[in-house]
Structure 1
């Protein structure tokens, strides 16, 4: 959905249009779920639903266009994931239905193992970042927020968000390609390095 479509859907939802609520859910819920998943929330579907329920209850009082609405959604998502982690530390380990036992409708062991390996590698790489760097990158990449929206969600100034993004990307670059660039690559990028 482009910016104009998001603006129109927010305006229609403010007027009580049920289909507009559905369009907003379809557009933003996968990104919210991704944001929550990258922050280790085990109950992603439930927390995503809580985020949208909280936002939709207040939609009549929300001012601004689609970008402001999207920033509000991720502000609520950020607060919910912080609350989820606080509750988890107070209550102890969280047991999901996946951990409770075998399910006859699960995918093959091979596809499960490959998916877990890929996810584990990505999580290991992200774990090398500071929590603030990880939050900035996930909001920028998964949630597709602008720098200004990310700063608003995290309650940080724009310069701090830019710095966190730069440091986070540099850290990921070092982790994913630890060796120096081959000289032929540098030569193509800038003949002075040849």
Structure 2
């Protein structure tokens, strides 16, 4: 039995493309939490984020055979794009339930209850999440990818479809906006 955690992503993807469920499970183990954090960083309902994470990986299982790194983007970018598309679908469904037909902005805030409290750097994670939801979508995305998912500037730029410099500026502005919200106590 292979030690899955030692196998590079490229090999896991190739095995999963051939139908190897254990390889796909390892892909989930590597990326599932990051995708959940990304999704949860845009909505305020933990159960919806969990369900959407499952949807993302079911979609990945169905479409993995189409993925070719040499022809396309790095795997993690492909996966985040699936997650972003799932967010767009989620907000369309939310609008539909409210009887509206316009496609909502990915930054819309759900009024669902906040998750249980966890402390991060002395701050309640639920409070931090509440502040993040008040930021514009690009600000929220850059902070989630950079600090919660620990992506580099280059990786974040690829996921967001922006330049390295644009991500640095966006991060600076996002941190300033977050700091201002927190100082004003707008949570």
Common fold by TM > 0.5:
yes
| Mapped pair 1:164 → 2:170 | yes
Q: Matched residues in 2 for 1:11 and 1:41: separation?
A: 35
Give per-residue Cα distances to partners, 1:33-74, cap 9 Å, x unaligned: 111111116311221111111122121221128x81111111
Give 5+ residue unaligned stretches, structure 2: 100-109
Give per-residue Cα distances to partners, 1:165-186, cap 9 Å, x unaligned: 12112334555679xxxxxxxx
Q: Which structure has greater helix proportion?
A: 1
2:96 to 90, 93, 102: 90
Give per-residue Cα distances to partners, 1:120-142, cap 9 Å, x unaligned: 42024324532211111112223
1:55-94 map, 5 Å: 55-64=60-69, 68-92=74-98
Name the residue aligned to 2:8.
5
CA gap of 1:146–1:79, structure 2 versus 1, over 3 A, is farther
What number of residue pairs does the alignment pair up? 163
Q: Matched residues in 2 for 1:40 and 1:62: separation?
A: 28
Q: Matched residues in 2 for 1:161 and 1:41: separation?
A: 24
Give per-residue Cα distances to partners, 1:142-175, cap 9 Å, x unaligned: 3333333333333333332221112112334555
Name the residue aligned to 1:49.
54
1:28-177 map, 5 Å: 28-40=31-43, 42=45, 43-64=48-69, 68-92=74-98, 112=116, 114-115=117-118, 118-173=124-179
SS in 2 for 1:145: coil
Q: Matched residues in 2 for 1:3 and 1:158: separation?
A: 30
How far residue 2 of structure 1 moved from its aligned partner, in angstroms, is: 8.0
C-alpha contact 1:71 1:145 (8 A) present in aligned 2? no
CA gap of 1:41–1:70, structure 2 versus 1, over 3 A, is farther
Larger C-alpha radius of gyration, 1 or 2? 1
CA gap of 1:145–1:72, structure 2 versus 1, over 3 A, is farther
Give 5+ residue unaligned stretches, structure 1: 100-111, 179-194
TM-score by length of 2: 0.70
RMSD after superposition: 3.5
SS in 2 for 1:149: helix
